[in-house]
């Protein structure tokens, strides 16, 4: 039916109101019919265009939502339209565009709280922490109780190394919204960084809300398990009945979570759990399985390394996520179980020993190096990693046999041709962590950025020099050169974000002190 040309302003207002009512009630067809009538009369009606963008957004038609939002913003450049455009752009990972939209919106609407929030958020996502902090602080001047600003400012100030400030903002966010799980988890990492473990571990149980999978997609739900979680209860007096009526101590199933480095650090608790359980099973990622079998099963027969598939839950009585074990054991800084718990296969280590001995100048100190982590798409990886070219001055140091431990599927993280000449590099022959451990067994020292190899070597008791980013991961604590988790670790931390030059200036002097000076060679390339 043709739309009457004589619709009055009151008629248009009524149509718009009716369309909004239909949309909010979930009556999409009726909302579209009313909006079509309105737009036929006034194709630049900002409210109708805005409503169509919301309809597309609610139905997850993101390209359509973006198109309608652009039209709405052009017709009606109010704060709400800028807000919607920002929101859609962030949802579609157009972070630079969202930042630009927020900046344009603030030029027109300088007191729009939501645009200050989006500006802070996009700056934060791009790693511009100082600028993000400024945006959030401006927002708090406008809205002192803005929960998201407090929570995000807590995270940003942590990245800036201001732990006390970060703690204050996160506690304020939780006071305003006690069930704010992301803020609770971020407060946990701040407390862990400052060594306040007793308060931190229970808050760390909310970490699932911040987890992502290997592709960076959120995975906020704790895996459902039809067993009670062990949180440190004393089970010595608890037993179960088997099919023959005999009593046995309970059995614990431990789930893997997060990355390989997390696993390598916290599997130390598996043998300790045998104090409470007759058997401890760990669902293990394949690259770690052979290493853990050779490290645990002979020394601690009650520890079982399981395939990375869903287990038969009837065989187990309790479960615990791997990174909940420190809480279950009530771990404090002074009770961290620091011992050597990972071991290389003796035969495979001997094979590498012979191969290294066949190189020229076999008596030179052997130092393994890692300059980049995995998960190239993650923001944290960009700040913890460096390029092989950045390491080149260090690797040009004479009198050392440099061994590459760099394993990556990202070609950009491989050694460049100039750096490759300084290295013995067999990592294309390495299939899993058991192979890496056998090679590390023959080294005198490992120098690594914060990645899984550092944990592996340290758990084997090898000397490890950690090249740590500014305001690094909570597990290395704050402003320390040692680690209570690994007695053999020495930490070299950036004095400010991105300053690898300062770190790499310290290492050569430390190497000369560690190994002494030798004039056996001048050209490192002659030894490869």
What integer pLDDT is reported at residue 247 of this predicted model?
56
Phi, psi of 328 (to 5 degrees): -60, -35
Asked if 265 and 485 count as a contact pair (C-beta separation under 8 A), the reply is yes
Q: What is the mean pLDDT of residues 113-122?
A: 98
Q: How far is residue 120's CA from residue 106's CA, in Å, rounded to a whole number?
A: 12
Paired residues of 466 in beta bridges: 448, 491
Q: Which of 318, 267, 276, 254 is nearest to 294 (CA)?
A: 267
Please write the tens of the pLDDT for every residue from 502-527: 999 999 999 999 998 653 333 333 33
Q: 13 — phi, psi (to 5°)? A: -60, -40
Q: What is the pLDDT of residue 520?
A: 37
Angle at 192 between CA 189 and CA 198, to 5 degrees: 120
Residue 60, Cβ neighbours under 10 Å: how many?
Answer: 9
DSSP H helical segments within 279-398, as ranges? 286-292, 325-328, 346-357, 379-384, 388-395
CB atoms within 10 A of CB 375: 18
Closest CA to 505 of 385, 397, 401: 397
* Average pLDDT across the chain, whole number: 89
Reported confidence tier of residue 333, pLDDT bands at 50, 70, 90: very high
**Given the structure tokens 């009538």, which residue do they identify?**
37
| CB atoms closer than 10 angstroms to residue 428 | 9
Question: Residue 370: in which H helix or E strand, if any?
Answer: strand 366-370
Helix axes 129-142, 147-159, angle to 10 degrees: 150
Q: What is the pLDDT of residue 495?
A: 95
Lowest-confidence region among 260-274, 400-414, 486-500:
400-414
Write down the pLDDT at residue 220: 58
Q: What was the pLDDT predicted at 5?
A: 41
Q: What is the pLDDT of residue 50?
A: 87
HSE (side-chain half, CA atoms, 13 Å) at 220: 6
pLDDT in tens, 64-94: 999 989 999 999 999 999 999 999 999 999 9
If pLDDT is split at 50, 70 and 90, which confidence band does 1 have?
very low
129, 158 Cβ separation under 8 angstroms: no
Positive or negative, the Cα torsion across 52, 148, 156, 213?
negative
With bands split at pLDDT 50, 70 and 90, how would you rate the model's confidence at 190?
A: very high
- 32-46, 98-112, 358-372, 384-398: range with lowest mean pLDDT: 32-46
Per-residue pLDDT, averaged over 340-351, amounts to 97
Neighbours of 264 (CB within 10 A): 24
Residue 178 CA to residue 181 CA, distance in Å, equals: 8
Q: What is the pLDDT of residue 133?
A: 98
Whether 6 has a pLDDT exceeding 90, the answer reads no
Q: How many beta carbons lie within 10 A of that of residue 39, not counting itself?
A: 18
- The answer to whether 154 and 471 are in contact (CB under 8 A) is no
- Give residue-wise pLDDT tens across range 140-167: 999 999 999 999 999 999 999 999 999 9
In this structure, the chain runs to a length of: 528
Q: How far is residue 501's CA from residue 495's CA, in Å, rounded to a whole number?
A: 10
Q: What is the pLDDT of residue 241?
A: 56
pLDDT at 524: 33
Give the model's confidence band at 9: pLDDT under 50 very low, under 70 low, under 90 confident, else very high: low
Phi first, then psi: what are they for 229, rounded to 5°? -80, 130
Q: How far apart are CA 116 and CA 105, in angstroms?
A: 9
With a cut of 80, say whether residue 450 has pLDDT above it.
yes
pLDDT at 372 over 80: yes
The confidence score (pLDDT) of residue 10 equals: 59
Q: Using 50, 70 and 90 to split pLDDT, how confident is the model at 209?
A: confident
Banded model confidence at residue 458, pLDDT cuts 50, 70, 90: very high
How confident is the model at residue 274, as a pLDDT? Answer: 96
Give mean pLDDT, residues 428-455.
Answer: 97
pLDDT at 11 over 70: no
Q: What is the pLDDT of residue 52?
A: 83
Q: What percent of the chain has pLDDT over 90?
A: 73
Q: Is the dihedral of CA 140, 145, 148, 152 positive or negative?
A: positive
- Residue 2's pLDDT band, with cuts at 50, 70 and 90, is very low
The reported pLDDT for the residue numbered 523 is 37
Mean pLDDT to the nearest integer, 299-309: 95
Query: Which band of pLDDT confidence, cut at 50, 70 and 90, is reported for residue 121?
Result: very high
What pLDDT does 36 receive? 78
- The pair of three-digit structure tokens given for residue 500, joined into one six-digit string: 């690898």
Sign of CA dihedral 481, 379, 195, 446: negative
Residue 347 scores a pLDDT above 70: yes
Q: Which of 14-18, 27-31, 264-268, 384-388 has the highest mean pLDDT?
A: 264-268
Any residues with CB less than 8 A from the CB of 396 and at least 6 apart, and which?
A: 422, 524
Q: What digits encode the pLDDT tens for the residues 216-266?
A: 566 656 778 999 999 999 886 555 655 555 557 899 999 999 899 999 999
Taking the whole predicted model, whether its pTM rises above 0.85 is answered as yes
Comparing CA positions, the residue from 226, 482, 197 lying closest to residue 325 is: 197
Cβ-proximal residues to 469 (8 Å cutoff; 6+ apart), any chain: 383, 384, 449, 450, 493, 494, 497
The whole-number pLDDT of residue 522 equals 39
Contact 393, 472 (CB under 8 A): no
Give the span between the Cα atoms of 100 and 276, in whole angstroms: 56
């Amino acid at each position: 039916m043709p739309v009457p040309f004589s619709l009055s302003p009151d008629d248009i207002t009524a149509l718009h109101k009716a369309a909004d009512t239909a949309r909010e009630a979930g009556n999409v067809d009726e909302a579209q019919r009313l909006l079509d009538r309105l737009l036929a009369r006034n194709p630049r009606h900002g409210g109708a265009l805005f409503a169509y963008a919301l309809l597309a957004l609610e139905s997850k038609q993101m390209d359509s939502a973006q198109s309608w939002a652009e039209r709405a913003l052009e017709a009606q450049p109010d704060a709400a339209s800028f807000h919607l455009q920002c929101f859609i752009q962030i949802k579609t990972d157009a972070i630079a565009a969202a930042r630009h939209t927020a900046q344009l919106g603030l030029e027109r609407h300088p007191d729009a709280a939501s645009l200050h929030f989006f500006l802070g958020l996009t700056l934060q996502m791009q790693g511009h922490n100082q600028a993000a902090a400024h945006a959030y602080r401006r927002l708090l001047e406008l809205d002192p109780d803005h929960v998201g600003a407090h929570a995000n400012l807590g995270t940003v100030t942590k990245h800036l190394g201001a732990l006390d400030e970060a703690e204050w903002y996160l506690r304020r966010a939780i006071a305003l919204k006690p069930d704010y799980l992301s803020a609770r988890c971020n407060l946990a990492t701040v407390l862990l960084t400052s060594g306040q473990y007793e308060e931190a571990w229970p808050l760390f149980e909310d970490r699932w809300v911040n987890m992502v999978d290997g592709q960076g997609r959120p995975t906020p739900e704790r895996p459902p398990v039809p067993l009670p979680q062990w949180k440190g209860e004393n089970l010595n007096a608890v037993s179960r009945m088997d099919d023959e009526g005999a009593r046995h101590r309970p059995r614990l199933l431990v789930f893997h979570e997060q990355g390989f480095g997390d696993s390598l650090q916290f599997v130390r608790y598996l043998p300790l759990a045998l104090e409470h359980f007759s058997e401890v099973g760990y669902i293990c990622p394949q690259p770690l399985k052979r290493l853990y079998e050779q490290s645990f099963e002979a020394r601690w027969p009650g520890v079982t390394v399981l395939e990375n598939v869903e287990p038969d839950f009837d065989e187990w009585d309790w479960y615990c996520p791997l990174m909940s074990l420190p809480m279950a054991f009530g771990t404090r800084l002074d009770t961290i179980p620091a011992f050597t718990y990972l071991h290389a296969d003796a035969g495979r280590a001997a094979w590498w020993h012979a191969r290294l001995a066949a190189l020229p100048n076999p008596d030179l100190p052997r130092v393994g190096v890692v300059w980049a982590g995995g998960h190239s798409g993650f923001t944290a990886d960009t700040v913890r990693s460096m390029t092989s070219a950045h390491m080149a001055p260090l690797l040009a140091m004479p009198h050392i046999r440099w061994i590459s431990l760099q394993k990556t599927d990202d070609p950009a993280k491989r050694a460049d041709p100039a750096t490759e000449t300084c290295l013995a590099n067999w990592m294309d022959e390495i299939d899993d962590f058991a192979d890496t451990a056998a090679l590390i067994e023959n080294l005198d020292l490992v120098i690594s950025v914060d990645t899984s190899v550092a944990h592996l070597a340290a758990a084997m008791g090898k000397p490890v020099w950690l090249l740590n980013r500014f305001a690094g991961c909570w597990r290395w604590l704050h402003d320390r050169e040692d680690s209570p988790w690994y007695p053999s670790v020495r930490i070299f931390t950036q004095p400010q974000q991105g300053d690898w030059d300062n770190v790499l200036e310290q290492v050569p002097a430390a190497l000369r002190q560690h190994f002494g000076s030798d004039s056996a060679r001048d050209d490192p390339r002659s030894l490869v």
